[in-house]
Amino acid sequence: MELWFEVVPWLAAMLILIVMSGFFSGGEACMFSLRPADRARLAAGNRTQQLAARLLNESDRLLSAVLFWNLMINMTYFAVASIISFRLDRLSAAGSIWPYAFAAASLLMLILFSEMLPKTLAVLSARTAAGYFAPPLAVALRLARPILPVLQAMNLFSRRLIWPRFQPEPYLEISDLGRAIDVSTSDADLAEQEQMVLNRIVAMSNIRVDEWMRPRTQFLAFRPPVDWMDLEGRMTPSGYLLVTDPQGGDVCGAVDLMELYELPVGNVDREASPIVYLPWCATLADAFQQLYQLDRDVVAVVNEFGDTIGILTYEDIMDAVFTNKPSRSERLMNRQPIESLGEGIWQVTGVTGLRQLAADLNLQLPPTRSTTVAGVLQETLERLPVEGDTADWGPLALRVIQFDGHTRMLVELKVNPAESDQESTP
């Protein structure tokens, strides 16, 4: 009983310190996991959300203050834990394992409830939690402000002492990637997959967005206001809930359904983030650069009249770089773009790119503005194709064998031997 009365006040102090340490750990994870788009929304939110945005404007000082107070709290926690261990050792029987068990349990409790758990929960709903973390963190920053110059001076001194010649690396240019690929041909340490990725990164500068986009018939867009019931419990093909203008015309916003950890209250379209607009002739490299610089997830591809003809998501671009054999047919239709049916006969999808077709069949194709097999058929027939339509285009004879009028088109393709020989003649 005497042991219990001596230990309980210290245990209560440890519990309070665990809560305080967990607060600062969760606040750090929450505030510094916010994306620029989240920070922009906080700046336009209520008073506490605006305070969170202002704190992030001086992120270096905020981080220094959070780490300082967390360090002070953890040192106090271990000091209290040591006091309890000594008292357990004094009051318990000789050779007892309780002091050592308590010390180990104290460490595990701090790791679990002051680091892992609060950081995990804070990141799951960072934008919502930022408004709750902001006022206490603002007070902590104000209290630590007098000693921040000392901490920053110590940090600068340690960096100059340990890394006196440390310099930031310059930005990587496409020419650097090209040289890396050239060097890698004789470098046995560079893995084959890494070389493939480097080649595809460089190739992004030559692939137009209309060759890789999701056509208008391959994605779902909703006119505001949008309710969860409009999705009918299904995930959209692109993984994004696309919101149009009030007239139901062009796409003007997108909600990343994969990153929604909580259902927003009210209309879903209020959660939509702005998108990027690019012309059909822009490249994948242009699209990636715009998405990265503006912290966006979706590109709307427009034609020369300003109409939206398709979309391109960040995941679509990553698919072009990291997938073993990237194909728009596999991504949109879940099937191979080109399948052999016999000698000189293939079955291809309508969205198969002409660049891929020419490379796989080793053919010289006529010049055209179209980028897909379906586009060539429409250009040659001067109308929308229907099942049974045939067309001759360069060395190829095409026949539509399946078309649902919207998205899925299968075409039988044969190579005209005479035309093929003529095309291959220098």
Identify whether residues 214 and 351 lie together within a single domain.
no
Q: Would you state the pLDDT for residue 245?
A: 85
CATH of residue 387's domain is 3.30.465.10
Domain limit, last residue, from 259, 288, 322? 322
Q: Would you state the pLDDT for residue 181?
A: 58
Give the long-range contacts of residues 122-127, CB within 8 A, separation 24 or more.
Answer: 122/26, 122/27, 122/29, 122/30, 122/33, 123/29, 123/30, 123/33, 124/261, 125/261, 125/262, 126/29, 126/30, 126/31, 126/33, 126/34, 126/38, 127/34, 127/38, 127/41, 127/42
Asked, for residue 285, whether it belongs to a domain, the answer is: yes
**Residue 244 phi, psi dihedral angles, 5° rounding:** -95, 180
Alpha carbon 424 to its chain's center? 44
Identify whether residues 101 and 42 lie together within a single domain.
yes
Q: Which residues touch 254 (CB under 8 Å, ≥6 apart)?
A: 240, 241, 242, 243, 272, 273, 275, 297, 298
CATH of residue 244's domain is 3.10.580.10
Identify whether residues 40 and 131 lie together within a single domain.
yes
Identify whether residues 85 and 109 lie together within a single domain.
yes
What is the percent of the chain where pLDDT is above 90?
24
Alpha carbon 347 to its chain's center? 34
3-state secondary structure of 235: coil
Identify whether residues 7 and 53 lie together within a single domain.
yes
Q: Would you state the pLDDT for residue 27?
A: 93
| pTM for the full predicted model | 0.56
How sure is the predictor about 420, in pLDDT bands with cuts at 50, 70 and 90?
very low
Domain limit, last residue, from 322, 353, 378? 322
| pLDDT over 50 at 422, yes or no | no
What is the percent of the chain where pLDDT is above 70?
85
Q: Would you state the pLDDT for residue 186?
A: 56
191/67: higher pLDDT: 67
Instruction: Give the chain's domain count.
Output: 4
Identify whether residues 190 and 262 lie together within a single domain.
no
| pLDDT over 60 at 185, yes or no | no
Residue type, 300: A
| pLDDT over 50 at 425, yes or no | no
Asked, for residue 354, whether it belongs to a domain, the answer is: yes
Identify whether residues 131 and 88 lie together within a single domain.
yes
Give 257-287 pLDDT, tens digit per residue: 877 666 666 677 777 888 999 998 899 999 9
**Residue 214 phi, psi dihedral angles, 5° rounding:** -90, 115
Identify whether residues 279 and 315 lie together within a single domain.
yes
Judge whether 421 and 389 are in contact, CB under 8 Å.
no
Q: Would you state the pLDDT for residue 426?
A: 43
| pLDDT over 80 at 353, yes or no | yes
Q: Which domain holds residue 279?
A: 209-322
Identify whether residues 272 and 301 lie together within a single domain.
yes
Q: Would you state the pLDDT for residue 373?
A: 87
Asked, for residue 50, whether it belongs to a domain, the answer is: yes
Strand order of the β-sheet with 396-403 is 338-342, 345-349, 409-415, 396-403, 390-393
Q: Would you state the pLDDT for residue 112?
A: 93
The average pLDDT across 23-33 equals 93
Q: Measured between alpha carbons, how far is 380 from 395 in angstroms, rounded to an integer?
A: 14
Q: Would you state the pLDDT for residue 372?
A: 84
How sure is the predictor about 312, in pLDDT bands with cuts at 50, 70 and 90?
very high
Asked, for residue 198, whether it belongs to a domain, the answer is: yes
Closest CA to 346 of 287, 304, 398, 280: 398
Identify whether residues 16 and 133 lie together within a single domain.
yes
Closest CA to 201 of 140, 268, 283, 131: 283
Identify whether residues 198 and 213 lie together within a single domain.
no
Asked, for residue 268, whether it belongs to a domain, the answer is: yes
The average pLDDT across 323-334 equals 74
Tell me the pLDDT of the chain averaged across its residues. Answer: 82
Asked, for residue 183, whether it belongs to a domain, the answer is: yes
| pLDDT over 70 at 44, yes or no | yes
Closest CA to 213 of 237, 230, 235: 237
The average pLDDT across 47-53 equals 91
Identify whether residues 288 and 220 lie together within a single domain.
yes
Domain limit, last residue, from 103, 131, 162? 162
| pLDDT over 70 at 240, yes or no | yes
Judge whether 100 and 106 are in contact, CB under 8 Å.
no
Go through 291-330 and write b for each residue having 16 or more CB atoms within 10 A of its CB, e for each that does not: beeeebbbbbbbeeeeebebbbbbebbebbbeeeebbbbe
Q: Would you state the pLDDT for residue 384?
A: 85
The average pLDDT across 412-423 equals 65
| pLDDT over 60 at 31, yes or no | yes
Asked, for residue 19, whether it belongs to a domain, the answer is: yes
Q: What angle do CA 87, 88, 90 make, to 5 degrees?
A: 60
Cis omega before residue 225 (within 30°)?
Answer: yes
The average pLDDT across 218-236 equals 80
Give 105-154 pLDDT, tens digit per residue: 999 999 999 999 999 999 988 888 999 999 999 999 999 988 888 887 88
